[in-house]
Structure formats: C-alpha cells, structure tokens
Amino acid sequence: MRLRQRLLPLLAAFAAACSDLPTDVADTVGLHATETGLSARVAPYARSALFREAIDAVMAAEGPQLLWRRTAPLRVHSASARAAQARGDSTAQLAAERMHREAQVGFMAYALGDARIDDVAHQVRNAVSEARVRVDALRAAGHNVTRAAALVQDAEVLLAGGASQPVDVLSAALEAADILDRLDQILRSVERLPSLDELFAATIADVRNAAGPRAARALLAEHQTLVREAQSALANGGRVRAHDRLQEVRERQVRIIAQRIGAVGVRQHVDAIVAAEKALSGSPDERRRVVARDYLEQATSSLARGDVARALERAAVAAEIVNALAAESS
C-alpha cells in the first residue's frame, strides 16, 4: 500500500506529461494506477494494443522510473509537435509526429523482443490474407471494392518489403495494421445491410432511370406530404400524430419497394439478412439474435403466403437488428 502511495504521484505526473500525442502512454499509465485493466476492443496486433503491451512489459521488468526514462523521446517529440501546431507550422508538426512514431516503434521493439515481433508480423500477414478473401468475395458479389483492393495491395507490399531488422519488421507490420483498420471500416460499410430508407432511395433512383423524373416525382409526392405532416406535428408537440404519420411513411416505402422489386427481390433481401445473421462473429447479444431470427421467420412465412410487403417490412426490422449486432461485435 505504501509503495502504491509513492508510485501514484509519479504515475500521475507521467500521465500529465504524456498528454495529447502519445495518448497510449497516458491511458496505460492511468490504467496501471487505477488497476482497471484494458477495455478497448482492438486487434492484438494494433498499434495501440502493442504500445500498451510494451508499457506493461517495461513497467513489470524495470519499474516506472525506467519506463519514464525510456519514453522520454516520446514526450520530447510530442511537445515539439504541439508547439509547432500552436504556431501553425505544419511542416515542423509533421516532422515531429514522424519522429514520435519512429521513437514509439523503437521503444516497442525494445520492449517486445524479437520473438514477439515475429509473432506480430505473422498475425498481420494472416489478417491481410483474410482481408483479401473478404475483398474478393465482395467483388464476386458485384460490389465496387476498388479502394479496398488498393489498401490490401498496399499492406501486402509493406509486408513483402524484405525488412530484416526487428525494428523494421515491426514498423512494417504496424503500418500494415493501420491500413487494416481503415480497410475494415470500408469493408463493413460495404457489407452492411441496406436500411429501408436506403432501399427506398435506390428504388426511386431506379424508377427515375427507367421511367424518367416525372414518374419518380409521382411516387415521392405522397411520401413527401406525409413527411412534412410528421415534421409539423412534431414541431407542434403532437408526438402521437407525428408517430402515426411516420408509420404511414414507412408503410408507403415498403409498398413502393415491394412493388418494384417483387417477390424475387424481397427473397434475395431476406436471404442476404439470413446470411449476415449467421455470419455474426464475436459474442453479440443472443437475445437480439433470437429476435432477428424471429422477424426473418415471419418474413419467410409472409413470402410463402404471397404477402410481399409484409415480408419486406419484417425483413427490414431484422436488418436493423443484424446491423446493430455486427457493429457491436466489430
């Protein structure tokens, strides 16, 4: 207890000195001080996760005073970057941030050791290979994945650079991991199930392309009237009336989409949602998964009865749940 009391002021000062740019240092030291543990859901090879791991390793092996000394370059470059930003010198700021990253990689290479660095490089290579599979599958399904494919190629080039020194191997792996993080966001947006509003917008665009703007405006006329009435009711405090109007908007959207894409299109939409629900990874809320499956069963039953609009409405609710679960499990 006495040792803890002596360490806390040092750790607090360390965290304060490491604010802004090296946020990982501040976060990790704070976590050591409060013993709360790590809660960020990041890949084990992510830059932030490895930096925390390096902090842990040095803290355990050498103690806080040597940790303070070994991270001194990070604080120096962080202060330089902040000073450059304050005076509007973007060139100096970028240079300081680059030196900060290099010092950070050097610190991590020292703390993690060669074996762990090799393990990280292997993990990142596997993750890039998995990303390539995802991109190829989306391309085969007709999605535009040009940007995603370019990022995968960039990551592959980094990992194939032929680095031999551990610090260079780690640097390449970290840069590839940064790319994977951006890539994952892009792929998730592509893989995300379309909402009812998005299906409606696509339907109106399809009508406009096929039959001209007048036909599209005709479909939108009643829809826009209902939306304006809902907005007016909400502005005047009529929540019940606003809810009723929005429900009418949704029902009309469903009818228009169902009439346009037909039973075949709705069936394809339901099948896509079923596949997405089955593909959920991690440990999402099982109760909500059951609810989503129930809506999908209702959609399937409605299709069997020939009630295409009802099937689409049930499927739309299921898609909202599956999208939310996918976002939470990422």
* Whether 173 and 247 share a structural domain: no
Over the stretch 151-164, which tens digit does the pLDDT of each residue have? 999 999 999 987 78
State the Cα–Cα distance between residues 133 and 5, nearest whole angstrom.
52
* Whether 95 and 172 share a structural domain: yes
* Whether 170 and 210 share a structural domain: no
Domain boundary among 191, 224, 254: 191
Q: What is the pLDDT of residue 24?
A: 40
* Whether 187 and 239 share a structural domain: no
Q: What is the pLDDT of residue 124?
A: 95
Q: What is the pLDDT of residue 168?
A: 94
Q: What is the pLDDT of residue 39?
A: 37
Residue-number span of the structural domain to which 125 is assigned: 2-191
pTM (predicted TM-score):
0.62
| Ranges of residues in the chain whose predicted pLDDT is under 70 | 1-42, 281-284, 330
Q: What is the pLDDT of residue 107?
A: 96
* Whether 181 and 257 share a structural domain: no
* Whether 258 and 301 share a structural domain: yes
Q: What is the pLDDT of residue 267?
A: 93
Q: What is the pLDDT of residue 234?
A: 75
Helices (H), the chain: 2-17, 23-34, 47-62, 64-70, 72-86, 90-140, 146-159, 166-191, 196-211, 213-235, 239-278, 286-305, 308-328
The owner of tokens 């199930």 is: 193
Q: What is the pLDDT of residue 277?
A: 87
- Number of domains observed in the structure of the chain: 2
State the Cα–Cα distance between residues 240 and 247, nearest whole angstrom.
11
How far lies 146's CA from each of 155, 188, 283, in Å? 15, 15, 31
* Whether 282 and 206 share a structural domain: yes
Q: What is the pLDDT of residue 82?
A: 93
* Whether 131 and 255 share a structural domain: no
* Whether 132 and 24 share a structural domain: yes
Coil, strand or helix at 237: coil
Domain boundary among 191, 212, 231: 191
* Whether 55 and 99 share a structural domain: yes
Domain boundary among 136, 164, 191: 191
